Amino acid sequence: MSYKQARLRRLNTAPTAGERDYVLYWIQAYRRLERNHALDYALWCAERLDRPLVVYEGLRLDYPWASRRLHRFILEGMAANAARAKEHGLNYWPFVEEKRGEGRGLLRKLSERAALVVTDDFPCFIVPGQSRALARKVDVPVLAVDSSSIVPLSLLGSPVSAAAHLRPRIHKAFAEAWLHRAAAEPEVSRAAARPVSAPFDRWSGADDPAAFVDALPLEGTVPPVEGMPGGTGAARARLGTFLEHRLRGYAERRSEPRPPDEGHASGLSPYLHFGHISIEEVAEKVLATTGDWTPEELRIHNRGKREGFFSDDADVNSFLDEALTWRDVGLHWHRSRRADAASLETALPSWVLETLGAHAGDERPHLYSADELEAGQTHDELWNAAQRELVATGTIHNYLRMLWGKKVLEWSPSPVEAYRILEHLNNKYALDGRDPNSYTGILWCFGLFDRPWAPDRKIFGRIRYMSSANTARKFRLSPYLGYVESLPTIEAVRSGRA
Ligand SMILES: Cc1cc2nc3c(=O)[nH]c(=O)nc-3n(C[C@H](O)[C@H](O)[C@H](O)COP(=O)(O)OP(=O)(O)OC[C@H]3O[C@@H](n4cnc5c(N)ncnc54)[C@H](O)[C@@H]3O)c2cc1C
């Protein structure tokens, strides 16, 4: 199978209508115009069919957990795409709903003029359903292209129960996949660049996405995050800061809860989630910091091992193990077992279901309602701080995110209720939520991809236990707690006073 084929999924059997006006690329998840396999494929089709390419990026008002926070981040990305499209000579058609339902039927209309439709093969949220729905309705091919990671997900095989099982598969395919990275700049042929005028008023809010979002009928309890703009340029700037100031020390200290300016986390997950930056570009730039590295000299050794595969530099290797192995674990899990995310019964391994079942009747010394948790009103100062960070900034430090999830399991009447609350809070407030790794991250707190631990505890059974007291013994928490204290309170954020 060629690499192009490995990324490609045909969603219907309709024939190409080569005489129609254009090839349509419908951006849903990889919201960028560089290093994008789906765009590369659409450009290739346009050239072969001698048709212009139209890149359509839309935003509705009614997606699940829609908020001013998510809208602003996405629209800043769209404003950046509009500017880049001009530089690349691409027909870029942005459409943003200002009234509910305004965009209904638009995509179908655009598809009626298309020779074929290319879209993103993102394995989560509303994307797979939307793509399938379009494929059913139109009389031209709908082709979904996987641009999620470096190794195409279709090459990673059957579902796994641990990261340790996926790692060797990624390592085995990595060198070859590396040679087939997406184009750094889109190669726009003369045919593809031929101008086509849009049959609707294109989004005109690109000059000031913030003001535009403020005027939209979106619920007000999740405001935009100031100081964290969306878009490819912002993603690159964040990556640059990470490489300069935070990569050194990543292997040893990434788990230490610190204020974002002092810690070692990259803060790239929102940009990766919305596709504003490609993981290929991130990996290239991280590898380039080792100095002795060039694409031609990629050294592949220690295959299957966590240490020393991508690089002998421990920080570089550790970062790439998270950004490639762990990120791919979530993507691959969704692609291979997508339906399972909806139900704990099918998502979790049998040992977890058994141990949770055995402890279902255990007394819960602390029980909190969904509202109390959302408001950060528990007895646990560290948990409340993590929740406040999430609500105020749209992010949670990775280590505390694990603790945050585990405690909701401990403080809820049942695992099913805990899962429902975590999904809601994560997807509502986190900029990187609604992602395959949202679900596998939460499910990890319930034992997915982990092993049974001793002793057998109340409520948790054999599931790995975490506590705020142990976290406080492990790390010096005062800088983090001081940072959170400087953030607006949850109440202020949710009431729009922040
Ligand atoms: C309860 C819970 C919920 C989570 N929800 C999400 C989510 O909604 N979206 C999301 O992208 N991740 C989620 N994660 C995984 C992880 O917490 C974040 O990816 C990470 O904290 C993002 O911060 P960063 O970009 O600074 O990470 P860095 O440490 O800088 O890592 C770089 C990149 O590697 C990937 N990565 C790092 N750690 C993990 C991990 N443990 N699992 C998977 N990928 C990882 C991410 O893409 C990240 O951007 C969740 C984890 C838990 C325990």
Mutate to test the pocket of ligand 1, among 306, 396, 398 (most ligand atoms within 8 A of CB): 398
What is the topology classification, in CATH, of domain 343-494?
A: DNA Cyclobutane Dipyrimidine Photolyase, subunit A; domain 3 (1.10.579)
Q: Which residue has a Cα nearest atom 24 of ligand 1? A: 267
Mapping DSSP onto H, E and C, the string for 274-331 reads CCCCCHHHHHHHHHHCCCCCCHHHCCCCCCCCCCCCCCCCHHHHHHHHHHHHHHHHHH
CA distances to 64, 140, 229 from 71, in Å: 12, 31, 11
- Place 246 in a pLDDT band, splitting at 50, 70 and 90: very high
> Of the candidates 140, 148, 76, 74, which has an alpha carbon nearest to the alpha carbon of residue 107?
140
- In this prediction, residue 458 carries a pLDDT of 97
The residues, ordered by sequence, that sit 6+ positions from 315 with a Cβ below 8 Å of its Cβ are 247, 248, 249, 250, 251
Q: What is the mean pLDDT of residues 279-307?
A: 79
pLDDT over 70 at 295, yes or no? no
User: Among the CATH numbers 1.20.1050.140, 3.40.50.12780, 1.10.600.10, 1.25.40.80, which is that of 149-185+230-338?
Assistant: 1.25.40.80
Dist CA 172 CA 302 (whole Å) = 11
Domain boundary assignment for the chain: 1-147, 149-185+230-338, 343-494
Atom from ligand 1 closest to the CA of residue 404: 1
Q: Which residue has a Cα nearest atom 37 of ligand 1? A: 322
Beta strands per DSSP E along 1-105 = 8-10, 22-27, 53-59, 91-96
Burial (CB count within 10 angstroms: exposed 0-12, middle 13-18, buried 19+), residue 194 = middle
- Place 293 in a pLDDT band, splitting at 50, 70 and 90: low
**Interval between CA 425 and ligand 1 midpoint (Å):** 15
- Place 16 in a pLDDT band, splitting at 50, 70 and 90: very high
- In this prediction, residue 294 carries a pLDDT of 59
- In this prediction, residue 209 carries a pLDDT of 96
Mutate to test the pocket of ligand 1, among 332, 432, 442 (most ligand atoms within 8 A of CB): 432
**Interval between CA 50 and ligand 1 midpoint (Å):** 42
DSSP-derived secondary structure for 462-492: TSPP--HHHHHHHS--HHHHHHHHTSPPHHH
Tens of pLDDT along 152-210?
A: 999 999 999 999 999 999 999 998 899 899 999 999 999 999 999 999 989 989 999 99
- In this prediction, residue 298 carries a pLDDT of 56
**Interval between CA 85 and ligand 1 midpoint (Å):** 30
Atom from ligand 1 closest to the CA of residue 329: 43
**pTM to 2 decimals?**
0.97
Percent pLDDT > 70 in the chain is 97
- In this prediction, residue 310 carries a pLDDT of 86
Q: Are 224 and 210 in contact (CB under 8 A)?
A: yes
Q: Is the CB of 430 under 6 A from ligand 1?
A: yes
Dist CA 11 CA 141 (whole Å) = 7
**Interval between CA 437 and ligand 1 midpoint (Å):** 7
Name the average pLDDT for the chain. 95
Q: Is the CB of 442 under 6 A from ligand 1?
A: yes
Atom from ligand 1 closest to the CA of residue 433: 8
Q: Which residue has a Cα nearest atom 12 of ligand 1? A: 437
- Place 297 in a pLDDT band, splitting at 50, 70 and 90: low
Mutate to test the pocket of ligand 1, among 286, 437, 443, 446 (most ligand atoms within 8 A of CB): 437
Count of residues making up the chain: 498
Paired residues of 399 in beta bridges: none
Q: Which residue has a Cα nearest atom 5 of ligand 1? A: 438
- In this prediction, residue 300 carries a pLDDT of 62
- Place 338 in a pLDDT band, splitting at 50, 70 and 90: low
- In this prediction, residue 302 carries a pLDDT of 75
> Of the candidates 76, 94, 83, 59, which has an alpha carbon nearest to the alpha carbon of residue 230?
76
Q: Which two tokens stand for residue 50?
A: 């001698």
Would you state the CATH architecture of domain 1-147?
3-Layer(aba) Sandwich (3.40)
Dist CA 206 CA 94 (whole Å) = 10
- In this prediction, residue 97 carries a pLDDT of 97
The residues, ordered by sequence, that sit 6+ positions from 429 with a Cβ below 8 Å of its Cβ are 69, 222, 390, 391, 394
Tens of pLDDT along 222-231?
A: 999 999 999 9
Tens of pLDDT along 39-93?
A: 999 999 999 999 999 999 999 999 999 999 999 999 999 999 999 999 999 999 9
More confident residue, 295 or 210: 210
Atom from ligand 1 closest to the CA of residue 396: 21
> Of the candidates 443, 475, 219, which has an alpha carbon nearest to the alpha carbon of residue 353?
443
Q: Which residue has a Cα nearest atom 48 of ligand 1? A: 269
Q: Which two tokens stand for residue 419?
A: 């899962």
Q: Is the CB of 445 under 6 A from ligand 1?
A: yes
- In this prediction, residue 3 carries a pLDDT of 76
- In this prediction, residue 185 carries a pLDDT of 97
Q: Is the CB of 258 under 6 A from ligand 1?
A: no
The residues, ordered by sequence, that sit 6+ positions from 145 with a Cβ below 8 Å of its Cβ are 7, 8, 9, 37, 38, 41, 42, 118, 119, 120, 121
**Interval between CA 269 and ligand 1 midpoint (Å):** 6
Mutate to test the pocket of ligand 1, among 269, 274, 387, 402 (most ligand atoms within 8 A of CB): 269
**Interval between CA 398 and ligand 1 midpoint (Å):** 6
471 φ, ψ (degrees, to nearest 5) = -60, -40
Atom from ligand 1 closest to the CA of residue 268: 25
pLDDT over 70 at 108, yes or no? yes
Q: Which residue has a Cα nearest atom 32 of ligand 1? A: 323
